[in-house]
Structure 1
């Protein structure tokens, strides 16, 4: 599988209880129990095309060597019988993604948590952009920001989007399936086939991501073909959904997101600037963080028990309908 002196290779013998937890144009993600490490892990199995296996190894090696608390931790490489036999072994994030959280809450998280996530994402992106050579994310959106047990944000799928897009073109996916990603793509990416991504591309996506976290909404209510046309024309997510008077620092956050999604890539701030600005905003709300995290975690537990109770009721009704005693 290449010269991976830094990366441990894991096989089927140490992985049990596989369960599919997600899929996309580039592959499938499974949760499994790692008997040697004594922990649950996430395994991303990739659909390799055009030599992308070596590309993934390079990205994995880079992240394995770097290490950062705001990045998903890569534990090694998987080589076995499942799927096409190769993939990435990563830490499992039990609280899902920011997209999951926004959907569950049906709106934005409490302000202290929202602002901490904004800061943590900027820290992770600043780390990527300061690697040697710099690593672009190219697919920054709520579903690619995962949450740990304390609701701390960690980036995932860094550098893999280049593979994902090339594979999805081969997999017969329609543009509508890519609508979520299109909403976070910069205008220059939609204007020219000769577009070359750079750091400003990620900054644009970050600006739209901030809007989604602050509002708890998806950026555009339109099919992807319209989004693809409107963004280069200057359309951006609707700021009227945000009441800047709601809380301290929100006006500064809106100012930052609009700077990030500036039409001119050269006018967008660096992620170091984003780190400094979000740190300032988060510091205004840090005193309320513990309560905010507690409230959200409590709600997630309550919702889980409600789901379990509802499932049991449905099973009892089904058994009763079939004449079986529960």
Structure 2
């Protein structure tokens, strides 16, 4: 039976997977590439840190949530792994089993380029991220991403976008806050987090994701990391005060429609959440065909 036809993701253990290879790591944990012995294709497994014994059930619920609908711009979750890692000792680990993306992440792509990608690709990336986020926010109830950044934008063999880690930040944050030595940045990188996230009264909304999208747009259009020379402690202080990445390096005359995209980007990172646009139709349509490029790359 093709796993794509399964009604819900199930539990997998080490007996289902072979040829393990570490392909990445981050605040959540390590990411492995492995061959599923029954499906006979490669999958990606994101293994989480700080397992407290109840993560498997939480991840099953999260995986079910992530499979409520399908979008070409959202990574597909095949199941939940619970088992031992190769050379990992007797400890039992849990994680999500997902489609393996050949080109890695947007962050990987940016690391291989000097400056931004060609404008046709840059516009297409911004459009596809908006479509993926629009899909998540129009689910009922809306599914918040809460950790939108280049590391969580996967790219397939044709450099098409597939969002990952959406909603996972929420369940991970509830676990990691109880774990000693875990910083708040591990539930969402500081320079992509909205001003309200640095308040002890923070309650995330769809507008929180919109802010992160605005910062991601800047990163795509410049090819740089926001606030790359600033300490995270300073970033946390200055973002609520209104500091944003510089627009000096974006020449809006370089491509048709770039000026409109930059204007929308600045609206996305407004300090007041109510001033930010919505992904519902407006952002997706605003980035579609900007400069006539999105269908040409």
Q: Same fold (TM over 0.5)?
A: yes
In the alignment, structure 1 residue 19 sits paired with structure 2 residue 27: no
Q: 1:108 aligns with which of 116, 124, 130?
A: 116
Once residues 150 and 121 of structure 1 are traced to their aligned partners in structure 2, the CA distance between those partners, rounded to angstroms, is 15
Gaps of 5+ in 1: 290-326
TM-superposed CA distance for 1:133, in Å, is 1.3
- Larger helix share, 1 or 2: 1
TM-superposed CA distance for 1:278, in Å, is 0.5
**1:122–1:274: 8 Å Cα contact kept in structure 2?**
yes
Q: 1:81 to 1:51 in 2, by over 3 A?
A: closer
Three-state SS of the structure 1 residue aligned to 2:124 is helix
- Structure 2 equivalent of residue 87 of structure 1: 95
Once residues 163 and 105 of structure 1 are traced to their aligned partners in structure 2, the CA distance between those partners, rounded to angstroms, is 34
Residues 85-138 of structure 1, C-alpha deviation per residue, up to 9 Å, x if partnerless? Answer: 322111101101111111111221111111111111111111111111111000
Q: Aligned pairs, how many? A: 283
Q: 1:281 aligns with which of 265, 286, 290?
A: 290
Once residues 35 and 108 of structure 1 are traced to their aligned partners in structure 2, the CA distance between those partners, rounded to angstroms, is 39
Residues 207-256 of structure 1, C-alpha deviation per residue, up to 9 Å, x if partnerless? Answer: 00000000000111200011001101000010111111111111011011
Three-state SS of the structure 2 residue aligned to 1:232 is helix
TM-superposed CA distance for 1:188, in Å, is 1.0
In the TM superposition, what are the counterparts of 1:255-274 in structure 2 within 5 Å? 255-272=263-280, 273-274=282-283
- Structure 2 equivalent of residue 42 of structure 1: 44
Once residues 237 and 10 of structure 2 are traced to their aligned partners in structure 1, the CA distance between those partners, rounded to angstroms, is 45
Q: 1:96 aligns with which of 86, 101, 104?
A: 104
Once residues 181 and 132 of structure 2 are traced to their aligned partners in structure 1, the CA distance between those partners, rounded to angstroms, is 32
- Structure with higher Rg: it is 1
TM-superposed CA distance for 1:178, in Å, is 5.3
In the alignment, structure 1 residue 7 sits paired with structure 2 residue 9: yes
After alignment, is 16-25 or 244-253 more displaced? Answer: 16-25
**1:43–1:87: 8 Å Cα contact kept in structure 2?**
yes
TM-score normalized by the length of structure 1 = 0.81
Q: 1:71 to 1:225 in 2, by over 3 A?
A: same
Q: Which runs of 4+ in 1 moved over 4 A?
A: 166-169, 177-180
In the TM superposition, what are the counterparts of 1:1-326 in structure 2 within 5 Å? 6-47=8-49, 48-49=51-52, 51-82=54-85, 84-169=92-177, 170-173=179-182, 181-190=189-198, 192-220=199-227, 221-272=229-280, 273-281=282-290, 284-286=292-294, 288-289=296-297
